Structure 1
Amino acid sequence: MFPILAGSFHLCTLTYSYDLYTVLRQFVKWQIAGRNAYGI
């Protein structure tokens, strides 16, 4: 990963750690729901 992107991601993680965690959990739920729906 490019240093600038890594630095930006790190900054976002420090600033919006709770939001990113919530989005990640929601994304995982969508992945599980999608697999169940499509039978993958």
Structure 2
Amino acid sequence: MKVMFSAFVAALVIAFAAPMVLNQFGWSVAEQTSSASVRLD
């Protein structure tokens, strides 16, 4: 039972920490799909 609760807590920590960590590495969708050269008409 303790192992199951530990797994739930670990999953919640990973779920909440993942977006912050991935943004630090620059792996957001906005950074992958945008570029420096943009055509403005």
TM-score in terms of structure 2 length:
0.43
Higher relative contact order (CA 8 A, sep 6+): 1
Bigger Rg, which one: 2
Whichever structure has more helix as a proportion of its residues is 1
TM-score in terms of structure 1 length:
0.43
